[in-house]
Structures are given as structure tokens and as C-alpha cells.
A and B are shown apart, each in its own frame.
Chain A
């Protein structure tokens, strides 16, 4: 750990004081659910998470909110829930890395005594009845810098990730088949998740036959779009012991925001913020990748899983393709990755997708898909086009006993 601790971005130890734990998880109905606004999904998710913990809303003294593309989730949620005299309240935005970051800031607030019980929530309702999934994430007006990119044909996030993925393929020999193994492996997990939107088994042949969106991405390389809300409740490990659910202790965390400049020698598509965030989080927990039992990764695209596995150090840089195609993924695989089916097959609620599955696995509440060894669960968040990264190290055991 000495080498990692010398890095100024690497937090060295858990903050002094109370250690944080996730004690509540609330998940609304998700998918093509049209009867609620994003704000209503958010309020429902917080109520569910608080009830799950065996707490009541009067126990909550902190609220962190995160809105998706549709907006509508913010400071007003405190009023919608009737929360009074909050010690912590803020809207947060780092795109797909926000959920993990909310848990980090809640953990810092708990550790310092700034607040005692903090709800962190994401909700979005981009789907409208009778409108296509693509339209839900469609491009806005063609003005200025974003407009010139769109006018040049690079009109969506999928195109930008496709350019990232192709660079990795051309540099390291990563293949289409290898990306397909990620989609196939996660679908096998989704088959055991009652909340998954896509549960039918998937073959590599079906993957290759699915229509192109932007090459090298087939439809089945891309996440789905969901309406819904998910919240977690963070409090102190001390308090967690007397609550309704097994606590999920927060052992380590990290963030990385590379701040890419688009110039010669830029490593876009080759290395992401995960390369700094992951080792920082594991070092804080006093663990290494070989200690990790369950890996819940942000998977907006198959490629995001591949680059994150490399950057976290599960395989050497450039070997992610061979790694995922070599019997690593899926319920029978060597590494338990995206055990709920992820954003590719199950539900897309930004960073709450990997986080919610991580909490279920750490608690031992994942039903048919429960992983037997779940002492250390690693969770990633990824925002922008590989611009923002967050990592959490979770465990059912209190720090020092993982």
C-alpha cells in the first residue's frame, strides 16, 4: 500500500470517528412505468429505503439528490417528503459517477458527525408512452460547440463511446466477439433477476445479429433506458447494528476526473479514471483486487465494463478482451461481475444500478443469483464519456474484519 499512499489522490485511511454503513435500499418499480414523474419516483424510493432500514422519515437529517436527463429531482424533494431541519441537503451532478459519490459524501458527513442518517436518491423518467427509447435520450438544439459536433454526425453519447471502443480494439486487438461475451454473460445473470427488463437467454450469434447502432456497437452493446428511482440510506455502523437489515459497511472509496484535453498522446479509449479511482478505494480499505468477491460495474456499454476491469487491475492493460472471453463472466464464470444483469439487461438508473445490486449481494439478499462469497464487493460509477469515475468498496463486515 506504500506506493499507492504516496499518490496525493489516494486517501490513506477511513476518516476518524463514526464509520459509515448503508442500512436501507429502496427500489421503485422500474422500466416502462409511465404513471409517475421523476420527483414522485424519487420520493417513493426514499420512503422505501427508509422503511427498509426500519427507520422513519423523522430519523433522516440529510438528503442528497441526483437527477437524470429528464431532470425534476432536486432540493424540492425535501419538501415533497416533509423533511425538516436537515443538516445536509444538496443536488449533485457528476453523471453516472454521482450515485457512488453521494455515498462518499454521506459517509464523510456521518464520519464527521455533520449528520446522522442521510438518504441518497437518483430517479429519472425519460421514457414517455408511445415514444421510442432513442427519442428519450435524443439530441437537443444544434447550437454552439455541442451543435457543431452533432452537425458533424456525432450526435449522441453512443457515437463517442463507439470511437473510444474502436481505439481500444485497434490498439490492443480487442474484438467484436469479446464485447459480445460481456452482453451474453450479463444476460445470463439477468435471467435470475426478477427486476430485469430483459431476461431471455442470449447467444453470441444473437448478439452479432442485433442491429448496428454505431459500429462497433450493436444494439446489445448499449444499455437500455428505464423510468424509476433508487435510494440508499447511510448512517453510522454503530447505529446500523440496531436496525432492520444487515449493514453494508463502506470500507473505501475514490473518485477520478481525468480532465482530458484532446491532443496528441491523449489516452482516450485506452485508460479511464478507474485506473486511479479503483486503486485509491482499495488502498483505503486495505485490500487489493485479489480480495474482491463481487464486482458491480457501471455498464452503459459493454466496452465500459472491459476498460473498467482493466483499469481496476483484474487483468493487464490491453488484455481485457481476452479476459472477458475466457470464461470469466456469467454465473459460472471465474469473476462475479454485474450479477444483476446490469444496465445492459436489467435496469438503467445510472450509478444506482451497480450500487443497488452491490447492496443486495453484500447483504446476501440476491436470491437465486446470490454469490456464495460476498465479503468484498467493488462498485464503479462512470459519467460523461469516461470523464468521471467513482469507486466504492463495500462489505457485510465492519472495517478490520473484512
Chain B
């Protein structure tokens, strides 16, 4: 379901995390949590951040349904992780009409065939 992606210097630690099944958030000295790609704390602008894995639970903030050239339809989502940061990805194992704003989701990782890095995606949590 997911596509191929290669790491670069900025994403090496992130993809080391996804290979372990972890989505690495960024934490400052004051304990604020920022998005995985933040280079400064998104709350206090501190530059000294360390990686900390998300626990994996989240809530759908918004959703969309991409109609792809192969005729399939992929549910896209913005998820607010329970820690606060957002992550944009897709929902696997569900049809677009099943994905709604406010739905609970769980982090999961998938890898495209042929040696790509693992990519964070979501699955719906049964209500």
C-alpha cells in the first residue's frame, strides 16, 4: 500500500526508528513534544531536542480520499497523536467511508516491496 522512500541525512534517525516500529517525536528540556521533523521545539523554540517514541494512539483530525490512477481509493488522514503532535499519513485496512473525523487510530508501519524504508501508517481502532 505505501510507496518507496529513501533516507537522507535529515531523516536517518527517523527511519532507524520506523525500522523498529517507532515514530520518533522530538522532546525539549522542558518536556514539550514536537513533530518528528521539528528542528526546534514547536512550543518554546529550543534547539536542543532528543528523540522519544510516540505511544501509538491517536485521533483523526481530518481525512480525505485519494482516487489513484490504478482505480483504488486511499484514505488520507491528519492524526493528532495522543502526545499532541500531528502526523499526516494514510489509513490501511479500511475503506474511505469508514474513516471519520474524531475516529481513534493506532500507529502501524509498512514497507514497500523492494528495500524501501518503513513508513508510519494508521489502522482504525474498533470503537
Chain A residues with a Cβ under 8 A of chain B = 141-145, 147-155, 159-160, 162-167, 170, 211-217, 261-264, 266, 268-269
User: By the criterion CB–CB under 8 Å, are A143 and B119 in contact?
Assistant: no
Q: Which residues of chain B come closer than 8 Å to A167, judged between CB atoms?
A: 61-62, 78, 101
B8 close to A (CB within 8 Å): yes
User: By the criterion CB–CB under 8 Å, are A212 and B88 in contact?
Assistant: no
Q: Which residues of chain A come closer than 8 Å to B76, judged between CB atoms?
A: 152-154, 159, 162-163, 214
Chain A contact surface mostly: mixed
Q: Which residues of chain A come closer than 8 Å to B88, judged between CB atoms?
A: 149, 152, 154, 160, 163, 262
User: By the criterion CB–CB under 8 Å, are A266 and B64 in contact?
Assistant: no
User: By the criterion CB–CB under 8 Å, are B62 and A264 in contact?
Assistant: no
User: By the criterion CB–CB under 8 Å, are A214 and B66 in contact?
Assistant: yes
B67 close to A (CB within 8 Å): yes
- Some 11 contacts from A to B, beta carbons below 8 A apart, are A143-B7, A152-B119, A153-B3, A162-B66, A162-B76, A163-B78, A170-B62, A261-B38, A263-B35, A263-B84, A264-B86
Closest chain-A Cβ to B79's Cβ sits at a distance in Å of 10
The answer for the CA separation of A262 and B86 in the assembled complex, in Å, is 5
Q: Within residues 89 to 105 of chain B, which ones have a CB less than 8 A from any CB in chain A? A: 89-90, 96, 101
Give the bracket for the number of chain B residues in contact with chain A. 35 or more
B50 close to A (CB within 8 Å): no
The answer for the CA separation of A269 and B42 in the assembled complex, in Å, is 19
- Given known contacts A142-B4, A145-B11, A151-B4, A261 and B67 CB-to-CB distance under 8 angstroms: no
User: By the criterion CB–CB under 8 Å, are A215 and B65 in contact?
Assistant: yes
- Given known contacts A212-B67, A261-B34, A144 and B10 CB-to-CB distance under 8 angstroms: yes
**Nearest chain A residue, comparing its CB with the CB of B84:** A264
* Residue among A144, A153, A166, A214 with the highest chain B CB neighbour number at 10 A: A153
Q: Which residues of chain A come closer than 8 Å to B62, judged between CB atoms?
A: 163-164, 166-167, 170, 269
Q: Which residues of chain B come closer than 8 Å to A215, judged between CB atoms?
A: 64-65, 67, 96
Q: 8 tightest A-B contacts by CB?
A: A261-B42, A162-B64, A167-B62, A151-B3, A215-B65, A152-B89, A151-B5, A262-B86
Closest chain-B Cβ to A393's Cβ sits at a distance in Å of 33
The answer for the CA separation of A151 and B42 in the assembled complex, in Å, is 25
B6 close to A (CB within 8 Å): yes
Q: Which residues of chain A come closer than 8 Å to B61, judged between CB atoms?
A: 167
The answer, among A151, A166, A212, A264, for a CB contact under 8 Å with B101, is A166
Q: Which residues of chain A come closer than 8 Å to B86, judged between CB atoms?
A: 262-264, 266
Q: Which residues of chain B come closer than 8 Å to A143, judged between CB atoms?
A: 5-8
User: By the criterion CB–CB under 8 Å, are B34 and A153 in contact?
Assistant: no
The answer for the CA separation of A217 and B74 in the assembled complex, in Å, is 14
